[in-house]
Structure 1
């Protein structure tokens, strides 16, 4: 296989193209750095909305939760506190369960 040696004109042309690309990248970098160097505005209020007070649980709801716990555990349990958890905790636990169910094959046979 015969390879062609580029001429000096081809090399200079490629070098000029590389220098032009480098200049454009330098301009883009300067623009990005200028945007990042500006201080971010601080909002007057916190980003999270104020949490509304939780509705009080009715006696019927507390009894239903206690019955569900007793059915699950098989014995009566003393309820000390009932707290509503957001969906983030449920989603995280779901991801943990899914990832734990994947069997990782650590003993692989090497050819």
Structure 2
């Protein structure tokens, strides 16, 4: 069966795009902090935003993925099994991006290619 994607980016930024399947990258940064702390409040403090902003981006990411990443309880969150697996993968990817960026920023600037 063929899936048809209808997505108006300006109205639904969380809609999976078959041409560019990346989730909103800001959501990944927020997810990494929220997952590491298992707390939207502590992630918000680190990122200098409100806990509501973190919660909003987590809902956006979960809608994009089509599955919850956290078990939500009264005033607390915990990664679920899917969230833990996703966190491990995202953590490695962000660490690689950080290392690569640091390598190229340490006097080895990329030439305009």
- State the TM bucket, normalised to the shorter chain: under 0.3
Comparing both chains, which one has the higher relative contact order based on Cα–Cα distances under 8 Å and sequence gaps of 6 or more? 2
Higher strand fraction: Structure 1 or Structure 2? Answer: 2
TM-score scaled to structure 2, two decimals? Answer: 0.23
TM-score, normalization by structure 1: 0.23
